[in-house]
A and B are shown apart, each in its own frame.
Chain A
Amino acid sequence: MKTDHSLPLEYSTEQNQLNILGFWIFIGAEIMLFATLFATYFTLANRTGTGPAGSEIFEITPVLIETFLLLTSSFTIGLAVHAMRIGKKNAMLTFFVITLLLGLGFLGVEIYEFTHYVHIGAGLQTSAFTAVLLTTLGTHGAHVTLGLFWGLFIILQVKKRGLTPGTANKAFIFSLYWHFLDIVWIFIFSFVYLKGMM
């Protein structure tokens, strides 16, 4: 495999460039995936049947914690990529670990939120609104969960193999994924929670 040393490690081979562009196109598909969920959410948001409405079940505190955790993790994964580019492997790994811990914290709060909803009678079967709420949040949460495992694998690989074109490429693509999840969360935060509590 030819390596081009004038480019950052993650772009240095042809296959790496293909991987990154391919992942961007995947993100385009993900935008449509979440757009469909949002379209459904907006259509069904007021169709609560006999169940509770959004304004009755949303709480600002867990939402703020989640938002802050995910925003910060998006910042730290950006720092990890920066550290990787200046060749600081240990700093990069530290930022990676921080990112995943923040993601884990986010997931913990989200699980709390879910059990709370089910507890107060807003489960999957309650109404169209609760079904789409839990599905939208759940799809995002599933992405975060997958990301936690993926990130962990990358940490292990960087530790074992060092910063190579292969591992750097994976780490960079992971950062794209993680930032994208943050963007989705911003939309959920704005148009599910804040709009619902407005």
Chain B
Amino acid sequence: MNYFDRFAIPNPSPAIYAAMVAIGLTVIAIVVGLTYFKKWGYIWREWLTTVDHKRIGIMYLVSALLMLFRGGVDALMMRAQTAIPDNALLDAQHYNEVFTTHGVVMIIFMAMPFIYALMNFVVPLQIGARDVAFPRLNALSFWLFFMGAMLLNISFVVGGSPDAGWTSYFPLAGNDFSQSVGTNYYMLSIQIAGIGTLISGINFITTILKMRAPGMKLMKMPMFTWTAFITNAIVVFAFPVLTVTLLMGTMDRLFGANFFTTTNGGMDMLWANLFWIWGHPEVYILILPAFGIYSEIISTFSRRNLYGYKSMVASIVIISFLSFLVWTHHFFTMGQGPLTNSIFAITTMAIAVPTGIKIFNWLFTMWKGKIKFTVPMLYAVGFIPIFTIGGVTGVMLGMASADYQYHNTMFLVAHFHYTIIPGVVFAMLAGLTYWWPKMFGFKLSERIGKWAFWFIAIGFNVTFFPMFFTGLNGQARRMYTYSEASGFGPLNLLSFGGALVLAAGFALIVYNVYYSTRYASRNIGSDPWDARTLEWATHSPVPSYNFATSPKVDSIEAFWDHKKNDYPLFKGEVEEIHMPNNSGIPFIMSCIFFVWGFSFVFSMWIPAIITTIAIFVLMAYRSFEKDDGHHISVKEIEETENKLRGGNK
């Protein structure tokens, strides 16, 4: 084989060539644009080297939105392919690649950065901290995630995309059945992003445990911070499982080890087992922050404090533990005995109890509240019935014996989209709209936002509800086409129509960002929603040090008390503030990780060794480096405060 042949695409098609051209043009446009506007220095100083949690949050946000559209295009391609029977838009191989990257991109590179975007931006503000515990590691987390995402995305045009499903089950994902480098990309890109996520997990737990404002006991934390805390606890204990599993998968593929092969004692089913030991907690990593966001939004727009705070906290703590006890329900049909299936069916149903408690708490919060149907509130209210459909079908799937009927059908696909879209996507859009004014100093247009909500809510249901029926009628998931005689045609066409409406909804959100950036009023004050938690107690946009003086808290809703009952939130004098310095190391190190991953994907050992050494050299450099941060003087703080107050009348 010619050396460069390995980089060629194994199954080229016009779409891929178009993507190559598009990627090339985008890169050229970015480079030319930055050079023309002389923004290289700005980008480097203000973004690439930043350790500010707010900026990192915004970078997560931008990446997540980009990936949302990348994954969304995959989804549209799938729906278009299955819209009519015997369609030939995509061939089988291409369809496999599309549903694989759709899953990976949406879960790992869209949902995860989206929740970390909001956690990064909001959590330190909600607890009255200056930054996270380890600001530089935070930057490293982001850049590792970003480089992992980029690594997966170039697979499309260099060497071929993964095609064994987002779960990458062996033996399909092994060398015998997945001969292109696609699955190597899967292993390495998720590995790199996963390390970043693990670091974030440690960072946020430490931050929330140790850096809360004086007086904010654990049971006085806002609900979003509570869910962020528990989510990160799950991250810390679940992601190492993924690390090891991917490591073993990589060793099978690159070094001929026999963990998951079907010869020499290898056990292919072990992959499924280990994957879901991580994979199920991952589901709760995605859903818990959403629960936190909804709690904040429902309480704010019902003008009431959250009903059942303690039971909310108890239920998320219980969920965090139960989430580690249910993983077998993803493979009830694999062949283990009825005893195992029964145990895991029971734990699966048990998890519906704490979730149900939360649903009732939200309903009781709204009960007799003065509800204001803003865009975030629409998403929150829309979430409850849609998510309940997802939950009820989840209980159906959780019955082990019944699962033999549903397993691997479109019914399952409908179920998890019914949980994950209202549970994650709605929540993220709600959170985005809700915290947008705090991030950028202006509100997104409510009018366009409401249109977008209705397009998305209706489009979503039209897309996915038919799948319950085609699934029960026997349409298997991941099949690139079906015959006309099967009768799946009309409902699939309806799905495709729904997907177009859904896409139009997202296009409206993009338009909303453009429209509001141009026309929205900047004169909205620091608390445009009349909200209840600490992040609204500082200016919008937030100054780099967050709070001029640390807030003192002695109730769950200290900011609300401050507004309504004149509780003195900021008692102290302004003092000099210590802040961390920017650093280029996280960015440089992550770039090296990118090359490292790329070298492993193509088994190029010399660059792999060089980059491995380079990573350790950077770690050593960090060990010897002396970096005590810098101080912002009282004078500077007062000037900033005066300026912000002036603009915020």
Q: Which residues of A does B touch, CB under 8 Å? A: 1, 14, 17-19, 21-22, 25-26, 28-30, 32-33, 36-37, 39-40, 43-44, 47-51, 124-129, 131-132, 135, 149-150, 153-154, 156-157, 166, 170
Q: How far is the CA of A149 from the CA of B620 in the complex (A)?
A: 9
Q: How far is the CA of A183 from the CA of B210 in the complex (A)?
A: 27
Mask: chain B, 204-241; 1 = CB below 8 Å from A; 0 = not: 01100111000000000000000000000000111111
Q: Which of B205, B257, B264, B270 contacts A25 (CB 8 A)?
A: B205
Which of B133, B240, B267 has the most chain A CB atoms inside 10 A of its CB? B240
CB distance from A119 to the nearest CB of B (A): 18
Q: Chain B, interface size: which category?
A: 35 or more
Contact indicator B274/A22 (Cβ below 8 Å): no
Q: Which of A14, A36, A126, A156 contacts B274 (CB 8 A)?
A: A36
B636 within 8 A of A: no
Q: Which residues of B does A touch, CB under 8 Å? A: 133-134, 198, 201-203, 205-206, 209-211, 236-241, 243-245, 247-248, 251, 255-259, 261, 263-267, 270, 274, 277, 578, 616, 620, 623-624, 626, 628-629
Q: How far is the CA of A51 from the CA of B264 in the complex (A)?
A: 8
Contact indicator B264/A150 (Cβ below 8 Å): no
Q: How far is the CA of A22 from the CA of B134 in the complex (A)?
A: 9
Contacts A36-B277, A128-B266 known; A29 to B240 CB distance under 8 Å? yes
Residues on A with C-beta less than 8 A from B240 are: 29-30, 32-33, 36
Contact indicator A135/B247 (Cβ below 8 Å): yes
Residues on A with C-beta less than 8 A from B256 are: 124-125
Contact indicator B202/A22 (Cβ below 8 Å): yes
CB distance from B465 to the nearest CB of A (A): 38
CB distance from A45 to the nearest CB of B (A): 10
Contact indicator B206/A49 (Cβ below 8 Å): no
Contact indicator A127/B264 (Cβ below 8 Å): yes
Q: How far is the CA of A126 from the CA of B209 in the complex (A)?
A: 47
Contact indicator A29/B265 (Cβ below 8 Å): no
Residues on A with C-beta less than 8 A from B134 are: 18-19, 22
Contact indicator B202/A47 (Cβ below 8 Å): no
Q: How far is the CA of A115 from the CA of B18 in the complex (A)?
A: 51
Residues on B with C-beta less than 8 A from A49 are: 258, 263-266
Contact indicator B237/A43 (Cβ below 8 Å): no
List 22 A–B pairs whose Cβ atoms lie within 8 Å, in order of A's numbering.
A1-B629, A18-B133, A19-B134, A25-B201, A28-B236, A28-B237, A29-B198, A29-B201, A29-B202, A29-B240, A36-B241, A36-B244, A40-B274, A49-B258, A124-B256, A124-B257, A126-B258, A126-B264, A127-B265, A129-B265, A131-B259, A156-B624
CB distance from B320 to the nearest CB of A (A): 13
Residues on A with C-beta less than 8 A from B251 are: 124, 131, 135
Q: How far is the CA of A21 from the CA of B624 in the complex (A)?
A: 21
Contact indicator A22/B257 (Cβ below 8 Å): no
Residues on A with C-beta less than 8 A from B206 are: 18, 21-22, 25
CB distance from B149 to the nearest CB of A (A): 22
Which of B205, B206, B239, B256 has the most chain A CB atoms inside 10 A of its CB? B206
Q: Which of B133, B259, B578 contacts A1 (CB 8 A)?
A: B578
Residues on B with C-beta less than 8 A from A47 are: 265-267
Contacts A47-B266, A131-B251 known; A17 to B205 CB distance under 8 Å? no
Q: Which 5 A-B pairs have the closest CB atoms?
A: A47-B265, A49-B264, A128-B265, A33-B240, A49-B265
Q: How far is the CA of A132 from the CA of B202 in the complex (A)?
A: 28
Residue of B nearest to A132 (CB): B259
Residues on B with C-beta less than 8 A from A132 are: 248, 259
CB distance from A32 to the nearest CB of B (A): 4
Contacts A25-B236, A29-B236, A135-B247 known; A149 to B616 CB distance under 8 Å? yes
Q: Which of A18, A37, A44 contacts B265 (CB 8 A)?
A: A44
Q: How far is the CA of A166 from the CA of B238 in the complex (A)?
A: 31
Contact indicator B620/A153 (Cβ below 8 Å): yes
Contact indicator B263/A153 (Cβ below 8 Å): no
Contact indicator A37/B244 (Cβ below 8 Å): yes
Please name 19 further chain A to chain B contacts, defined as beta carbons within 8 Å, in addition to the given A18-B206, A44-B266, sorted by A numbering.
Answer: A1-B628, A25-B205, A28-B237, A29-B198, A29-B237, A29-B239, A32-B237, A36-B277, A40-B259, A44-B270, A49-B258, A49-B266, A124-B251, A125-B258, A126-B258, A128-B261, A131-B248, A131-B259, A170-B623
Q: How far is the CA of A40 from the CA of B293 in the complex (A)?
A: 37
Q: How far is the CA of A131 from the CA of B277 in the complex (A)?
A: 21
Residue of A nearest to B580 (CB): A15
Contact indicator B210/A26 (Cβ below 8 Å): no
Q: How far is the CA of A50 from the CA of B239 in the complex (A)?
A: 33
CB distance from B624 to the nearest CB of A (A): 7
Q: How far is the CA of A157 from the CA of B624 in the complex (A)?
A: 7
Contact indicator B244/A125 (Cβ below 8 Å): no
